[in-house]
Chain A
Amino acid sequence: GAGVSQSPRYKVAKRGQDVALRCDPISGHVSLFWYQQALGQGPEFLTYFQNEAQLDKSGLPSDRFFAERPEGSVSTLKIQRTQQEDSAVYLCASSLNNYEQYFGPGTRLTVT
């Protein structure tokens, strides 16, 4: 079946612009996770949804970061007033059972 999809795959934003990153999880997966991966490092947790409920947002680095999953399927990660330090790959993962997580291709964000 289809895996996790993310769009756009690449995004270039000027400093101060707002961006929205989309994740479409595997059908039937109730859990959805967002991670941030800097170059040469492992992914770092940002936030977690179970269906439409955001159960953990402890990894969001600032109040400029906001995530939603209003109907318990597609999720959007929004970054307001982007800064250069926001440049990274943003990964979405989904899980059926909260154990094995399957990642999408990621969105590479570059802030200039």
Chain B
Amino acid sequence: QKEVEQNSGPLSVPEGAIASLNCTYSDRGSQSFFWYRQYSGKSPELIMSIYSNGDKEDGRFTAQLNKASQYVSLLIRDSQPSDSATYLCAVNAGNMLTFGGGTRLMVKP
């Protein structure tokens, strides 16, 4: 049973809209949570980290964490075609990261 779950998508949104990406995890001991962006043929790039319940904003990105519901989300405001990529949710309960399978986002001009 996979410990970090994401909808594989694709999630298609029009340019300028808000993209909402979701992730659930099973290990209640998880302490830190990350979103990585991965363009086709490239390696994962860290875009957001969140450690406590609530929202964390960085530019057009907002990460949301709810430990009681074991739920993490990423909102991308004013989506651009250049945001089209696979977004990986990663959870750290020790040293290693456990990744979800990723959600493919397509932003259409």
Q: Which residues 63-96 in B have Cβ within 8 Å of A in the complex?
A: 88, 90, 92, 94-96
CB contacts (< 8 Å) of A31 on chain B: these are 95
- The range of chain A's interface size is 20 to 34
The answer to whether A33 and B46 touch (CB under 8 A), given A42-B102, A99-B32, A100-B34, is no
| Cα of A44 to Cα of B102 in the assembled complex, Å | 12
Q: Is the CB of A103 within 8 A of B99?
A: no
CB contacts (< 8 Å) of B101 on chain A: these are 40-42
Measured CB to CB, the residues of A under 8 A from B are 31, 33, 35, 40-45, 48, 55-56, 59, 89, 91, 93, 98-106
B98 within 8 A of A: yes
Q: Which residues 14-46 in B have Cβ within 8 Å of A in the complex?
A: 32, 34, 36, 42-46
Instruction: For the complex formed, measure the closest distance between the CB of A73 and the CB atoms of chain B, giving whole angstroms.
Output: 18
Q: Is the CB of B43 within 8 A of A91?
A: yes
Q: Is the CB of A98 within 8 A of B95?
A: yes
7 pairs, CB–CB < 8 Å, chain A vs chain B: A42-B90, A42-B102, A48-B95, A56-B94, A89-B43, A99-B32, A103-B45
| Cα of A41 to Cα of B103 in the assembled complex, Å | 10
Q: Is the CB of A43 within 8 A of B44?
A: yes
CB contacts (< 8 Å) of A91 on chain B: these are 43-44
Instruction: For the complex formed, measure the closest distance between the CB of B24 and the CB atoms of chain A, giving whole angstroms.
Output: 14
